[in-house]
Amino acid sequence: MRFLSGSTGRAGGAQLAGAALALGLAAFALGPAIHCRAQENPLDNVQTPAPPPPSKSPNSDSNSDSEARKPIIDQGASGAVEGALHSDARMRVDVNLVRVPTTVTDPLNRIVTGLEKENFALSDNNIPQTIRYFSSEDAPITIGVVFDLSGSMASKFVRARKALTAFLRTSNPQDEFFVVGFNDRPSIIVDYTSDPDDVEARMVMLKPENRTALIDAVYLGIDHLRLAKYDRKALLIISDGGDNRSRYTESELERVVRESGVQVYAIGIFDNYAPSTEEQMGPELLKEMCEMTGGRLFDVGSDTAGLEDIATRISAELRNQYVLGYNPSEVKRDGSWRKLKVKLTPPPGLPLLTVHFRDGYYAPAQ
């Protein structure tokens, strides 16, 4: 058991001069054209409509939904993970095999490794399942980073940038990642790469300014993860406030995030005083996005001193998940929401442990 806390005559001369002038004008015209295209809203090119609301199971109701979100194992005295349900790496069904990534922590919120398949029990819609696939290897993952570049981040930008570097440098060397930067509008500022130096070189050139289109940025990040190399996918949001500029709504984003199966983590750098309603709602917006996917919000307040430690901690969590796989005993291809529960039976002598997992998945539609 281990704890891991981007020479002629005049006519000829006139012709040459005219040609040179034409080339000069063409170059002049080309420069601004390229610049303008770089400033276009990247969401204009996103051709992903918001999916329809998922169909409800006949037995679904508010009480059962509430019950499904409760952790199976009680928390330790320190409230290790505040009841958050962790998981994913992409929750998906492949030839009827459902994969359920989970994380286990002790009462001090340290990651627990070294558990075996026999320590876990899993149910699908309250029907016990046989775990046929089990892995605790540090498999590579695709990570999208959504980084706030709005004006309110000016005083926090340097430390937030260093936190991002710490996160990437402690990830699996085979991981791939990209960065979506956003203020008034989002844009992919670093496309898929496995080299943290690519990200760092680009980030030092940026300057925070303008307003905050957080919802649009998350939408773009989720959409770009469709091009990922790996099945395991996660999104890390680094932001200091709520949304005040997006075109998409919270309900549209919620549908997209739920259907994607992407696990969302967030580092919230919130000011003690939030003057606007959008900023006041910022923490709740990020919390909801994380909890609906089994991720977690880390609220550091306005103190940015611990940003690097938190970023490293999130990286460690993503690298130390157990993946449980099973073939559902009840196969229904109706696109319905299936509730998951994972129960942990730890070896004797260990302190009270908490298991974190996504609370469900959508069955195939056909």
pLDDT at 320: 92
CA triplet 169, 175, 177: central angle to 5 degrees? 85
Q: pTM for this structure?
A: 0.72
Q: Is the pLDDT of residue 29 over 80?
A: no
Give the Cα separation of 53 and 35 in Å (integer). Answer: 39
Looking at per-residue pLDDT, the higher value among 292 and 287 belongs to 287
Q: Is the dihedral of CA 273, 288, 219, 355 positive or negative?
A: positive
pLDDT confidence of 84, banded at 50, 70, 90? very low
Looking at per-residue pLDDT, the higher value among 187 and 87 belongs to 187
pLDDT at 274: 64
| Mean pLDDT across 278-296 | 82
Q: What is the pLDDT of residues 127-154, one digit of tens each?
A: 999 999 999 989 999 999 999 999 989 9
Q: What is the pLDDT of residues 184-203, one digit of tens each?
A: 999 999 999 999 999 999 99
Q: Which tokens belong to 146?
A: 């959504």
pLDDT at 212: 92
Q: What is the pLDDT of residues 295-340, one digit of tens each?
A: 888 988 877 888 999 999 999 999 999 999 999 998 888 888 888 8
- Order of strands, edge to edge, in the sheet holding 142-148? 186-193, 176-182, 142-148, 233-239, 263-268, 297-299
- Least confident range from 112-121, 254-263, 271-280: namely 271-280
| Mean pLDDT across 265-277 | 79
DSSP 155: T
Which domains, ranges and CATH numbers included, belong to the chain?
Answer: 64-136+320-362 (no CATH), 142-318 (3.40.50.410)
Q: Is the pLDDT of residue 45 over 50?
A: no
Residue type, 175: D
pLDDT at 276: 66
User: What is the separation of C-alpha 149 from the centre of its chain, rounded to a whole number of angstroms?
Assistant: 17
Mention every residue, 6+ apart, whose C-beta is less than 8 A from residue 303. Answer: none
| Mean pLDDT across 235-253 | 91
What is the chain's mean pLDDT, rounded?
77
Q: Is the pLDDT of residue 219 over 60?
A: yes
Strands (E), 85-232: 93-94, 97-105, 112-113, 120-124, 127-129, 131-135, 142-148, 176-182, 186-193
pLDDT confidence of 275, banded at 50, 70, 90? low
Mention every residue, 6+ apart, whose C-beta is less than 8 A from residue 353. Answer: 73, 104, 105, 106, 112, 344, 346
Q: Is the pLDDT of residue 48 over 80?
A: no
DSSP β-bridge partners for residue 325: 99, 133
CA triplet 88, 91, 93: central angle to 5 degrees? 160
